[in-house]
Structure 1
Amino acid sequence: MTAPVPADGDAAVRALEELISCIDDSAEELRRARVRAEHLLADRRAGKAWLELVTEESRPLVVESISTVLASLAGAGHTWRREEAAALQREKISINRIAVLFGVTRQRISALLKENGTTATG
């Protein structure tokens, strides 16, 4: 069952495009963090003290980069999941079926749909 996609897209399409962009940005940020972590490891193995490593590390710290990536992915993923659930409901898929598809509870889908301003039924 395929539904026509409006010419200007829809909220789920936009959310998916944003998720893809976020994944790309995150991969690049993680690549940079990995390079920096490798340098820290090499410096430590060369005998530098932890205090010296930590005080010399420029911002954002490796751990800050990782935290930023995780937060960005969580936000974009949540938006995508919410918009995808709403899109499925617009296609007359039941909340119970959406819950099974997403591997979550019916209550979680209802909460997502409420966030989206969509009424949750069946």
Structure 2
Amino acid sequence: MTADPPADVAERALQDLVTELDRCVDELVRARARADKLLAERRAGRAWLDIVDGEPRPLVVERISTVLASLSAAGHRWRREQAAALQSEQVSINRIAAMFGVTRQRISALLRER
């Protein structure tokens, strides 16, 4: 069995990113609803300690941290595989860097990660 061409790996990374985006949107919708409840409790006069202490896990801040970490990982993989796919199409590192809005050194580092 041969390795997938870079374009196929990039397509898979993009599909994984779309899946992760969908999951994160759902998670953020839940965090938003929870945040609304917390605001209502605070506006009703409850102390922050009572509000946070009574909040079921995961806390709003934990949900947001998880979303940020997972999006960062999926986005990084997509960026790396997209750069490799572009390079396999003979696009120069300088041009890829310009498209991504980063330095040539950053693209070189991304490609070395593979």
Asked which structure has the greater RCO (Cα within 8 Å, sep 6+), the reply is 2
Q: Which residue of 1 aligns with 2:95?
A: 97
Deviation string, structure 1 residues 37-73 (Cα, Å, up to 9, x no partner): 0000000101111110010001000000000000000
Hey, what's the Cα distance between the residues in 2 that align with 1:56 and 1:37? 13
- The percent of aligned pairs where both chains have the same amino acid is 66
How much is the aligned-residue C-alpha RMSD, in angstroms? 1.1
Hey, what's the Cα distance between the residues in 2 that align with 1:97 and 1:54? 49
Q: Which residue of 2 aligns with 1:10?
A: 8
Hey, what's the Cα distance between the residues in 2 that align with 1:13 and 1:98? 17
Q: Which residue of 2 aligns with 1:79?
A: 77
Normalised by the length of structure 2, the TM-score is: 0.93
From 22, 25, 28, give the equivalent of 2:23: 25
Larger helix proportion, structure 1 or 2? 2
Structure 2 residues not aligned, in runs of 5+: none
Structure 1 residues not aligned, in runs of 5+: 1-5, 117-122
Equivalenced residues, count: 109
Q: Give every structure 1 segment of 4 or more consecutive aligned residues whose post-TM-superposition deviation is greater than 6 Å.
A: none
